[in-house]
């Protein structure tokens, strides 16, 4: 078990905060949510006894915490949306935050699909690291990643960004 002292934590935070924020923002699509989740993720590792001995272990740990926090928010939002829908009926919502085609199509993916794609292709995480970050079984990651790639490719083909595949 390892514990970060104040100076080590500050240096780790400065090196890692942008990557974690980018990951959370791309997965959630909301800057305010990214700010909240990143803050909470880093707060949770302050003073915690971590099962990591190096910078990369701490980095994986903070990504895992952020992934768990996003999953908690998605579950809570799903329950709240279901409850609200029963109260007032379905509500049509158009998210106009994205202004380019690729971002719009990426936003059309489910949050977990965006998170998996981000961790695999932007962060360069392997299947085991993705599984740990998102709280999934390692064997599920390969299938979920394949499906997320295929779905994004279909969305981009429909939008005319990539050539259709027969």
In the numeric block, the tokens 């915490």 are attached to 65
pLDDT-based confidence at residue 70 (cuts at 50, 70, 90): confident
pLDDT-based confidence at residue 92 (cuts at 50, 70, 90): very low
In the numeric block, the tokens 């106009």 are attached to 96
Pairs from 19-22 (Cβ < 8 Å, separation ≥ 24): 19/59, 19/123, 20/62, 20/63, 20/66, 22/118, 22/122
What is this structure's pTM? 0.54
Q: How confident is the model at residue 97, as a pLDDT?
A: 45
Q: How confident is the model at residue 104, as a pLDDT?
A: 76
Six-digit token pair at 34?
């990214």
Q: Write out the DSSP string of 87-104.
A: HH-----------SHHHH
CATH of 1-93, one of 1.10.10, 1.10.1740, 2.40.128, 1.20.1070: 1.10.1740
The ranges assigned to domains in the chain are 1-93, 97-166
Q: How confident is the model at residue 166, as a pLDDT?
A: 36
Contact call for residues 130 and 120 (beta carbons, < 8 A): yes
Six-digit token pair at 125?
């995480």
Mean pLDDT over residues 7-18, rounded? 90
Q: What pLDDT digit, counting tens, does each position of 31-53 carry?
A: 998 999 999 999 888 767 776 66
Q: What pLDDT digit, counting tens, does each position of 94-143 carry?
A: 444 433 667 778 778 888 888 888 888 877 889 998 888 888 898 999 99
Please report, for residues 9, 45, 83, 149, the alpha-carbon distance to residue 60 in angstroms, rounded to integers and kept in the order given. Answer: 14, 12, 35, 23
Phi, psi at 140, each rounded to 5°? -75, -30
**Mean of all residue pLDDT scores within the chain:** 79
CATH 3.30.1330.30 assigned to domain 97-166? The reply is: no
């Amino acid at each position: 078990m390892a514990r970060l002292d104040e100076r080590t934590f500050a240096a780790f935070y400065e090196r890692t905060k942008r990557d974690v924020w980018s990951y959370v923002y791309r997965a959630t699509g909301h800057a305010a949510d990214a700010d909240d989740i990143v803050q909470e993720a880093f707060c949770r590792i302050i003073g915690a006894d971590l099962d990591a001995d190096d910078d990369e272990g701490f980095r994986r740990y903070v990504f895992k915490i952020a992934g768990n926090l996003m999953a908690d928010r998605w579950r809570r939002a799903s329950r709240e949306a279901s409850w609200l829908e029963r109260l007032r009926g379905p509500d049509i919502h158009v998210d106009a935050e994205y202004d380019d085609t690729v971002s719009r199509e990426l936003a059309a993916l489910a949050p977990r699909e965006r998170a998996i794609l981000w961790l695999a292709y932007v962060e360069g995480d392997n299947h085991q690291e993705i599984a740990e970050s998102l709280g999934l079984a390692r064997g599920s990651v390969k299938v979920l990643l394949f499906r997320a790639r295929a779905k994004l490719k279909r969305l981009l083909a429909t939008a005319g960004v990539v050539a259709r595949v027969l």
